[in-house]
A = this chain, B = another copy of it.
Amino acid sequence: MTRNPQLGPDGELRHLLSIEGLPRSMIERILDTATSFIGVGDREVKKVPLLRGRSVFNLFFESSTRTRTTFDIAAQRLSADVFNLDIGVSSTSKGESLLDTIDNLAAMQADMFVVRHAQSGAPYLIAEHLDRTHAARASVINAGDGRHAHPTQGLLDMYTIRHFKGDFTQLRVAIVGDIRHSRVARSDIHALTTLGVPEVRAIAPMTLLPPGIEQLGVRVFYDMREGLRDVDVIIMLRLQSERMRGALLPSAQEYFKHYGLTADKLALARPDAIVMHPGPMNRGVEIDSSVADGSQAVILSQVTFGIAVRMAVMSLLAQG
């Protein structure tokens, strides 16, 4: 993983593997392109012919109906043919190697692979293999790899912040919760930094912070009330239930008390602060229902923008 194969020779988008290594201009280009797709979802005929006849493969080695559906919708609204491969029961279970599976699908003239994999780096491996062996045909979109990255989530979060806040360079953004195990947090931090956000805060108990996070340009707070003071944007993270059962946390109730976003904690942020969450939410664990359904929450806007952002990424890859 020594080079970042995301950009082609002329700087065009070749794969989307992580926000890290993506120039600010490319992030902005993706967000601008997404704007043009926002309206498509509001029409009766929610379709544009940009990817007509292209073959998009959803390769979810780790099951996620929710994320897969967002890519499926984005691809179909671009008029692509979408093939959802249930990898659990496919050739890999017959002992075929990952790259042999990819070679086979590439030989079926795949145009795009949307890859979710439990192992960090798997989408890179696939992208480098495709570039090396197949004369730059199919593109790879990382739909989440291990704890590493979830770039389309990062991009849709940036779209949401830009939509509600406009200028990135005046913002205080707090990311709250299980930052240690979160690919979303990692992608968001890279995106926020690249886009010029002057203050990114990480709020979490010590057990849920990755070692050395300060080196990413982040200010750490163990006390949520202190960390939320005067922020413009709050990004809540999902607490995986396996953490709650594990040794890292005393209990969900205890977690909610200290790190759950409630109305009174929210009141410490700026009055026009927005509340984000990548979903699915654990109401009563990391977020109180009154906040999740309150006027400052923009959680469903994130979902809507997410379709447009994925359409933007796919259309830029198809041009690349």
Contacts and interface: CB of A to CB of B under 8 A. Distances in A.
Interface of A: 41-47, 52-55, 63, 65-66, 69-70, 72-73, 76-77, 81, 83, 85-87, 89-91, 94-97, 100-101, 103-109, 241, 279-283, 300-301, 303-304, 306-307
Contacts of A45: 52-54
Of listed A45, A76, A104, residue having the most chain B CB within 10 A: A104
Contact of A91 (B72, B280, B306): B280
B90 A304 contact: no
Contacts of A73: 55, 81, 83, 108
A97 B70 CA distance: 19
Contact of A54 (B44, B54, B108, B281): B44
Contacts of A76: 81, 83
A97 B283 contact: yes
Contacts of A43: 53
Contacts of A283: 97, 100
A100 B65 contact: no
Of listed A43, A47, A66, A77, residue having the most chain B CB within 10 A: A66
